Amino acid sequence: MRVAVPVFPGSNCDHDALHACGTIMGWDTIPVWHQETRLPENTELVFVPGGFSYGDYLRCGAIAALAPIMADVKRHADSGGLVLGVCNGFQILCEAQLLPGALLRNESLRFIHSEVHLRVERADLPFTRAMKPGAVFQVPIAHAEGNFTLDPTDLVDLEARGGVVFRYCSPKGEIGADHVPNGAMNGIAGIVNVRGNVLGMMPHPERAVDPKLGSTGGLGMFQSLLEAFARA
Amino acid sequence: MKVRVSVQLKPGILDPQGKAVEQGLHGFGFEVDHVRIGRLIDMDVPGTDPAEVKAKALAMCEKLLVNPVMEKASIEVL
């Protein structure tokens, strides 16, 4: 299993991604500088990491979406390859139009870092297949722009096609505005494209995979990817 | 030619920054409502025909300067 982690100026979760995929999962994980024009051969998963690419200039992710490596990430996605974008990675995938919507400033106007609970809405994806539908898991968030927004009509379409993968919830799995940390529409924490191979999410599963660091709530996603690749 | 693109959040999109500034203004006793914060982008665009220059700026908006999910822009050739 080969994973490519694009690194932009200002990325700061690239090492979390490399640790989770490389050290913890034992996958062949390669950092790829944003100026490169090709992903490593036989890349199966592209992990677009979090951070503040290009200092969040213009809009979060807007400049990174135009980086040379992103053309090959799009090609990879178009040919059915898996792409996972976390936090700033999610913002980049939206700006690159690989995913619908946009991430606005948090409703509170504050940068939020805390543990959240997520409910699994889709457990049939390569990213979630080892999880149960409706299951709840705990992962950290750390962002100032995580307020997911979409045109009302497009939001209806997104929900109707099952595009929502994770929703913020209570520890027991209850949904409601009280459990949404950032004001995201419908409590949306993560979405997937129509084809099911490009997933973006604000929370950080890659920061919750190592018992030594205190939590392992994010492991389910990596076990899912492991299963998906074992079958491929 | 000098071109000014002003980018605003679309109506209906929450603008927490605008809201915070509005509250700040209320704190000083100003009566204001619907404060919205946007972004001004000034640039020099080669060309002498305002219509052509405006068309170029529009293309820039579509490619990069504006995210149509949340923003709209107006273009002024100065």
Please, what are the domains in chain B? 2-77 (3.30.1280.10)
Q: Residue A209, by phi and psi: left (phi above 0), alpha (psi -120 to 50) or beta? A: alpha
Q: Which residues contact B76 (CB under 8 A, 6 or more apart)?
A: B3, B4, B5, B6
**Domain residues for A162?**
2-231
Residue A164's nearest CA partner among A123, A208, A203 is A123
Q: Is the pLDDT of residue A109 over 90?
A: no
ipTM value, please give it.
0.80
pLDDT of residue B63: 93
Assigned token pair, A139: 């992962």
Strand partners, A116: A139
- For chain A, how many structural domains are there in total? 1
Residue B61's nearest CA partner among B1, B3, B5 is B5
Contact A27, A62 (CB under 8 A): no
- Cβ of A180 under 8 Å from any chain B Cβ? no
The Cα–Cα gap between A17 and A207 comes to 8
- The neighbour count for residue A12, using CB atoms within 10 Å, is 16
Find the CATH number of the domain harbouring A52.
3.40.50.880
**Of residues A62, A105, A109, nearest to B64 (C-beta):** A62
Question: pLDDT band at B12, cuts 50/70/90?
Answer: confident
pLDDT of residue A39: 98
Mean pLDDT for all residues in chain A: 96
**Of residues A107, A147, A150, nearest to B69 (C-beta):** A150
Question: pLDDT band at A216, cuts 50/70/90?
Answer: very high
Average pLDDT over residues A104-110: 90
Chain B residues within 8 A of A106 when measuring between CB atoms: 16
pLDDT in tens, B54-71: 999 999 999 999 999 999
Chain B residues within 8 A of A105 when measuring between CB atoms: 16-17
Question: pLDDT band at B13, cuts 50/70/90?
Answer: confident
Contact A214, A228 (CB under 8 A): no
